[in-house]
Amino acid sequence: MSKAPGMPSSSSSSPLTSQPPLSTASPPAMPLPLRTIPGSYGWPLLGPIFDRLDYFWFRGPANFFKKRMEKHKSTVFRTNLPPTWPLFLGINPNVIAVLDCKSFLHLFDMEIVDKKNVLAGDYMPSVKFTGNLRTCIYLDTSEPQHAKIKNFVIDILKRSSTVWLTELKANLDILFDTIETSISAKGSARLSFPLQKCLFNFLTTAIVGADPTTDPTIADSGYAMLDRWLALQILPTIKIGILQPFEEIFLHSFAYPFALVRGDYSKLYNFVEKHGNEVVQRGVNEFGLTKEEAIHNLLFTLGFNAFGGFSAFLPTLIGTITSDKTGIQEKLRKEVKEKIGSSSLNFESVKDLELVQSFVHETLRLNPPVPLQYGRARKDFQLSSHDSVYDIKKGELLCGYQPQVMKDSKVFEDPESFKAERFMGEKGRELLNYLYWSNGPQTGSTTESNKQCPGKDIVPLTSFLFVAYIFQRYESISGSSSSITAVEKAK
Ligand code: HEM
């Protein structure tokens, strides 16, 4: 691919040499041609059903976007995205895909896009899952409740930093003790349940201010309750990979009712109401929320955002470390040993770990935990990709698929390859302008006026600590994203 106007040539050592970050506002060096958006929505009912099968079954999400991008010779095109038909008849699956860093950027511009109820496109799980309320993530910035709830969450994270660290370390001790015991007894350790238990205990204490061990039911099965509640909301939108056509028939054809998890949700609600009262009261007294709004949003932030996000990302991070064959473990361990040694881990100590940080950022680039982002055009406007301009009509739904966007060859050199050192040094750090996992650039600021994830900084920081913890504890670790097969203790 040739470089776009305004972008440096491919011969430069970094694609971003002294370039300002992309912006939807800055005009390109040369005017770009106006193009009709390629692609179509096909026949009513048939187009959406074909696209759904192509997305979930024939190709899978990654190839679905890649192949169409190649077919249309464009990073911007029209397509349908599931869920569609038969019981999602009220849902409009028509979207405009935006698949390069420049066109994707429009999704962060709150002047241009409306984020009301578009977390999963035109489909939204029943509000019964969240106490008949629309939680923060479904609110547009023009809605007054958005600022109140977002500031509440930002405040929680600010206040909880000390607890965050101590709880993370204490629960990592439990997690890896459990893993070692399983390896000794059975030769390997499954990761999923112990990791989720660790995450649930640590995040509940850090975010809700409530210790799950005070309630045996929550301590034992809180994480599984959140899993079920989460799964029912997102099942129609994700590929699981079970035998087709069963996945299409049973998982993607209708929305599961809240009634199936009502009991679980009530237990979690009561737990937060009783044990998280101090945080709930802050939501009420300092941020003007009702008690119900504070509790349902706390549960959503805990369960969907934090627990859901980390449950998706950490197995990938562990898998990237444990299955590595390029010697990255040795390099990471060396850096941790040289810069921290056996001193206590904290947020300050990981700030010097350049390689660990770059490794985490590269893992986030190639595996953005929330792959799809949407935004509805607030007005008619012109959308720019690297090489063309397109007319967008008010009300049209833009959809970015991040795993493809993060392989933009005009921004990332050799974009398909995992390069642990990619984000190191001055030029590497500039690339953080284009790391979008948090629904905004990694160099951006999370505020009440945008929709960037409030966990933008704490998520990478927690991941740096996680990697540093592993290499303080182990000389080497083997396995995959789902199990650990061997560990060699640090000397
Ligand atoms: C690996 C972990 C996480 C991932 C991958 C993640 C990802 C995201 C993404 C992609 C969005 C934007 C969704 C959209 O509008 O399309 C988002 C929003 C949000 N996230 Fe996170 N997140 C994570 C952790 C957290 C944590 C730890 C918190 C707070 C404790 C949090 C709280 C929120 C909230 C409240 C929003 C809504 C923001 C708004 O409406 O302005 N997230 N997150």
Q: What is the mean pLDDT of the chain?
A: 94
pLDDT score at 23: 74
Domain ranges of the chain: 46-489
Any ligand 1 atom below 6 A from CB of 98: no
Query: Distance between CA 94 and CA 82 in Å, rounded?
Result: 9
Ligand 1 neighbourhood includes 301 CB (under 6 angstroms): yes
Q: Cα(461) to centroid of ligand 1, in Å?
A: 15
Strand duo 483-489 + 94-98: pairing: unpaired
CATH class of 46-489: mainly alpha
Ligand 1 centroid–CA 441 distance in Å is 13
Helix, strand, coil % (nearest 5) of the chain? 50, 10, 40
Q: Does residue 326 surpass a pLDDT of 50?
A: yes
Q: Is ligand 1 within 6 A of the CB of residue 303?
A: no
Tell me what pLDDT residue 61 has: 98
Strands 397-401 and 94-98: parallel
Q: Is 203 in the pocket of ligand 1 (CB under 6 A)?
A: no
* Bridge partners, residue 96, by sequence: 78, 398
Write out the two tokens for 383.
Answer: 């959308």
Q: Answer yes or no: is the C-beta of 306 below 6 A from any ligand 1 atom.
A: yes
235-248 residues labelled b (16+ CB within 10 A) or e (exposed) = bbbbbeeeeeeebe
Write the single-letter amino acid at 371.
Answer: P
Q: Which atom of ligand 1 is nearest to the CA of 138?
A: 40
pLDDT tens-digit series, residues 180-226: 999 999 999 999 999 999 999 999 999 999 999 999 999 999 999 99
Instruction: State if residue 370 touches ligand 1 by the CB under 6 angstroms criterion.
Output: yes
What is the structure's pLDDT at 88?
76
Task: Please indicate whether residue 298, judged by its CB atom, sits closer than 6 Å to ligand 1.
Answer: no
Q: Which atom of ligand 1 is nearest to the CA of 305?
A: 42
Residue 438: its H or E element: none
The pick from 106, 137, 405 for probing ligand 1's pocket by mutation, whose C-beta has the most ligand atoms within 8 angstroms, reads 137
Q: Tell me the pLDDT tens digit for each residue of 117-167.
A: 999 999 999 999 999 999 999 999 999 999 999 999 999 999 999 999 999
